[in-house]
Amino acid sequence: MTATNLIAAEPIDRRAVVTRHNVVHRSADAKHFLQVGNGEFAFAMDVTGLQTLDREFEPAIPLHTMSNWGWHRFPNDGSYRYEQTLSEFEVGGRTITYADRQKSPAGEYFRANPHRVNLARIGLWWEGQDADGSADLAAFTEIEQELDLWSGCVTSRYKFRGEPVTVQTVADPRMDAVAFRIQSPLLESGQLGVAVRFSYPAGEWGPAADDFSQPDAHATQLHDSGADVAAFSRTLDDFKYSVLAVGDKQSVESIGQHAWRITWPGAESADIAFRFSTPETVNKGATFDVARSRAAAHWKEFWRSGGAIDLGAVDDPRAREIERRVVLSQYLTAIQNGSLPPQETGLLCNSWFGKQHLEMHWWHAAHFPLWGRPEILARSMDWYRQITPQARRIAERQGYDGVRWPKMCGPDGISSPSGVGEFLVWQQPHVIWLAESLYRTAPTAETRAEYAELVDQTARFMADFAVADEHGNYHLPAPLIPAQECYRPRETRDPTFELAYWHWALSTAQQWRTRAGLPREQQWDRVIDHLAHPAVRSGQYAAVAVDPFTNWHDHPSMLCALGVLPRTPLIDPAIMRATADSVEEDWDWQSTWGWDYPVMAMTRARCGQPELAVAALLRDSPKNGYLPNGHNYQEPRLPIYLPGNGGTLTAVAMMAAGWEGAPDRPAPGFPADWPVRFEGLAPMP
C-alpha cells in the first residue's frame, strides 16, 4: 500500500478541517461582509454584526435581507405586452420569434420585472444618529469578527465610541428569520439599540436594491408594540409581507416614515429576532436561543455528512488555499441554494434583477451530488416542473417539440427579453445532466420516474432544434450565441461545447428510455449519429464553426467539451490538449470570469495533466480571487460570483474522486505526490 493510499484511508477530522477556515475580520472594509442563511433566506452583515456600514464605502457594501419569495413588480403603467419584445428569424424554413428587443420600453419593463426586494435593513442605532443611519467609521475600533462555520454563528466584537459591543448573529435554518444577541454598557443607558428601515425597491440590475427616495410609494404599519413583540406589515404595490420582531422588554419608537428604533434601557444584554413571511404564512416568531440552537445542530450535521477533503498533509502551499476555497464554498453555496436556482449573486444582491439565469444552474448546483448532498440540488429541480408550462409555450411559439428552458427568468418562468440571453442554448442540456447526477446518486425506479418527463421533454426540444443539411448532417443553427457570449447570433452556428453537450445529453436521454424499458427514439439517434463535428483549425478546436471561429477573450468555453463533459466521439483528447495549451498562452485572461478557472482545471485533469490542473484552479487573475469570506469577487457590479464557488467544488471533487476513464490511482486529478485525503465524494461522469 502506498503512502497516499494509507493516508486516504484514515478518517478525516472534519471539525478541524472546517474550523481552521473560520472567517475572521479585524477591520471595516467594503469587502469584509458575511452572510448567514438557510437556502431560502439570507442576511448579509458588516463587521458590526448588522447592516450598519452599508453606505460608508464606495462602492457600497451590498448588505441586504433577501428571500426566495420576496419579489415585486412595478405597475405596468405602459400596458406593455410581451409580444412587443419579439423579433422574427428564419431558421430551417420556419419563422421563429425571439424576445431580443431588450432596449424597447416593453423589453425594459419585462426584463426588470419581477425583481427581488430587500426585506429590511437592520443596523445599529445610537443616540444622535443621522436620520438615514449613516455612520462614522472612526467610531468603530478594536474590531474582531468571526464566522464559526461549525455552528453557523457570527460573533462581532468591537468598541463603539470607546465602549465595548458584542453582537452574535445567526439565521434560523427552519424559518426565514435572523436573530441577534447584543451586549454593551451602552444598551443599559439607552444610547444604543437596533434600527430597522424599509425601502421601496430600486428595481435595477446591480448591487443596490433599495430606493429610499420614494417614501410615499410604499406603506409600513406597526400593528403591535408591546414589551416582547413588534409586528410590521409591508405593502409595495401588489407585494405584501410581514415582519415580526421578537425581543424581551424592548421599546419600539418611530424615527421616520419607514424606520423604527428598538432599545432596551436598563439591560446590558438584549436578544431580538426578526421573522419574515408572506401574509399567508403563519407568522410565528423566532427567538435567539432557539435560532442559535437550531443553527448549531444544522451546521454540525451539514459538516459531518456529505463529502469532505483534507489537504492538510500536502506540503505544497497551494493546497491550503484550495482547501480554504472548498470549505467556504460549501458554506456559501448551501446558504444560497434552495427552492429556486440562485442568481449569480445569490441572496446577497441583485445581479440580473435578482432573477434566475439557468445557464449558471449547473455551476451553482452540479457539485451537490458529487459532495454527497443531492437533496440540495433536488430542491431546485422541483421548480423546473413548475415552469414547464412556460417552457413549453416558448417551444410551441417557436415551432419546436418539447420544452425550451429560458436563460433568465423570475420565479414565474417567463423568459426575460435580452439581445444575448434569448439566443443561449447551453442551459437546455443542464436539466438532463442534473437529473442524471441525481439518478447516479440514487439509481432507483423512483428517481427515474421523478425526472423522466423533464429529461424526455428537454431532449425532444434538443433533437428538434438541430437542423439537417443536404448531406443529412445535423447542425446547431443560427441564431445562436454560445457560452462564450461574444459572437453575433445571426451568423453563429455549431459551437464546439454545445455540439459535444448535445451529443452527450441526447445519448443520456436515450439511456433514460432504455432504463424504463422504452424503445430508443429514432430521431434522437439520427441527430446523435450525424451531429456535426466541431471545427478544428491549426490543430485546435475553434469556439464556433464560422468566422471568426475563435474570439480570444471572454469564456474559453470550447474547453468545456472535454472537462465539464466526459469524452464523446466528437472530441479528440490530443486536439483538446493542444487547445488548452493555446488558451493558456494566448487568451485574454483579464476578460475571463470566475468559472473559467475550474473549467481549465477539469480539462487539464481529463487530459492527464494534474499539475496544470492545480495551476489553472489557482491562476493569478483578477476574476479568480477569493475574498476572506470565500466569495469569488469579480467587479463592483458583481461583488460575489457563485459560479466560481460551485465550479471550484465540482473541479476539486472530480480531481479527488476521479471520473469515468480516469487513471487508476487515488486523486487522479491532483499531482501524484499529493497525499490527498477525502471521503464521501462521487466521481464525475
Q: State pLDDT tens for residues 647-675.
A: 999 999 999 999 999 999 999 999 999 99
Residue 89 lies in a domain: no
Both 188 and 238 in a single domain?
yes
* pLDDT beyond 80 at 91: yes
pTM check: above 0.95: yes
Residue 680 lies in a domain: yes
Share of the chain above pLDDT 70, in %: 98
* pLDDT beyond 80 at 566: yes
Query: Band of the pLDDT at 94, cuts 50, 70, 90?
Result: confident
Q: How far apart are CA 670 and CA 641, in angstroms?
A: 25
Question: CA 532, 537, 541, 542 torsion: positive or negative?
Answer: negative
What pLDDT, on a 0 to 100 scale, did the predictor assign at position 568? 98
Share of the chain above pLDDT 90, in %: 94
* pLDDT beyond 60 at 2: no
Q: How far apart are CA 405 and CA 414, in angstroms?
A: 10
Q: What mean pLDDT is predicted for residues 519-543?
A: 98
Q: How far apart are CA 502 and CA 488, in angstroms?
A: 21
What pLDDT, on a 0 to 100 scale, did the predictor assign at position 283? 66
What pLDDT, on a 0 to 100 scale, did the predictor assign at position 281? 72
Residue 148 lies in a domain: yes
Q: Which three cell numbers stand for residue 242?
A: 410581514
Contact assessment for residue 496 and residue 542, using Cβ atoms and an 8 Å cutoff: yes
Q: State pLDDT tens for residues 399-421.
A: 999 999 999 999 999 999 999 99
Both 18 and 35 in a single domain?
no
Both 213 and 334 in a single domain?
no
Both 37 and 172 in a single domain?
yes
| 644: phi then psi, degrees, rounded to nearest 5 | -70, -45
Q: How far apart are CA 514 and CA 482, in angstroms?
A: 31
Expressed as residue numbers, the domain containing 620 is 1-22+318-351+588-685
Both 10 and 67 in a single domain?
no
CATH number at residue 285: 2.70.98.40
The residue length of the chain stands at 685
Q: State pLDDT tens for residues 611-650.
A: 999 999 999 999 999 999 999 999 999 999 999 999 999 9
Q: How far apart are CA 666 and CA 4, in angstroms?
A: 7
Residue 561 lies in a domain: no
CA-atom Rg of the chain in angstroms: 26
Count how many Cα atoms sit within 13 Å of the Cα of residue 153 in the half-sphere of its side chain.
Answer: 19
Q: State pLDDT tens for residues 267-292.
A: 999 999 999 999 877 667 789 999 99
Residue 583 lies in a domain: no
Q: How far apart are CA 229 and CA 245, in angstroms?
A: 6
The total of structural domains in the chain comes to 2
Residues facing 194 on adjacent strands: 124, 262
Both 657 and 630 in a single domain?
yes
* pLDDT beyond 80 at 487: yes
**HEC secondary structure over 353-413:** HHCEEHHHHHHHHCHHHHCCCHHHHHHHHHHHHHCHHHHHHHHHHHCCCCCCCCCEECCCC
Query: Band of the pLDDT at 10, cuts 50, 70, 90?
Result: confident
Q: How far apart are CA 278 and CA 119, in angstroms?
A: 11
Q: How far apart are CA 134 and CA 122, in angstroms?
A: 13
Both 680 and 599 in a single domain?
yes
Both 212 and 117 in a single domain?
yes
Residue where the block lists cell 436556482: 341
* pLDDT beyond 70 at 156: yes
Q: Collapsing DSSP states into helix, strand and coil, what is residue 260?
A: strand
Q: State pLDDT tens for residues 419-471.
A: 999 999 999 999 999 999 999 999 999 999 999 999 999 999 999 999 999 99
What pLDDT, on a 0 to 100 scale, did the predictor assign at position 4? 39
* pLDDT beyond 70 at 1: no
What pLDDT, on a 0 to 100 scale, did the predictor assign at position 286? 84
Q: How far apart are CA 639 and CA 619, in angstroms?
A: 19
- Candidates 252, 24, 278, 297; CA nearest to 152 is 297
What pLDDT, on a 0 to 100 scale, did the predictor assign at position 371? 98
What pLDDT, on a 0 to 100 scale, did the predictor assign at position 6? 38
The secondary structure of 188-224 as a DSSP string is HTTSEEEEEE--EE---SBS--EETT-GGGSEEEEEE
Contact assessment for residue 531 and residue 570, using Cβ atoms and an 8 Å cutoff: yes
The secondary structure of 16-60 as a DSSP string is HHHHTT-EEE-S--TT--EEEE-SSEEEEE-TTSSS-STTSSSSP
Residues facing 200 on adjacent strands: 211
Residue 174 lies in a domain: yes
Q: State pLDDT tens for residues 319-349.
A: 999 999 999 999 999 999 999 999 999 999 9
Q: How many CB atoms are closer than 10 A to CB 588?
A: 11
Residue 676 lies in a domain: yes
What pLDDT, on a 0 to 100 scale, did the predictor assign at position 282? 63
Both 275 and 139 in a single domain?
yes
Query: Band of the pLDDT at 392, cuts 50, 70, 90?
Result: very high
Q: State pLDDT tens for residues 202-226.
A: 999 989 899 999 999 999 999 876 7
Query: Band of the pLDDT at 16, cuts 50, 70, 90?
Result: very high
* pLDDT beyond 70 at 251: yes
Residues facing 147 on adjacent strands: 23, 154
Residue 157 lies in a domain: yes
Average pLDDT value for the chain: 96
Both 16 and 118 in a single domain?
no
Amino acid in position 521: E
Contact assessment for residue 119 and residue 70, using Cβ atoms and an 8 Å cutoff: yes
What pLDDT, on a 0 to 100 scale, did the predictor assign at position 143? 98
Q: State pLDDT tens for residues 569-611.
A: 999 999 999 999 999 999 999 999 999 999 999 999 999 999 9
* pLDDT beyond 90 at 567: yes
Both 205 and 246 in a single domain?
yes
Q: Where are the alpha helices (DSSP H) in 466-554?
A: 496-515, 522-529
Q: How far apart are CA 556 and CA 554, in angstroms?
A: 7
Q: How far apart are CA 653 and CA 333, in angstroms?
A: 15
Both 330 and 248 in a single domain?
no
Q: How far apart are CA 250 and CA 266, in angstroms?
A: 10
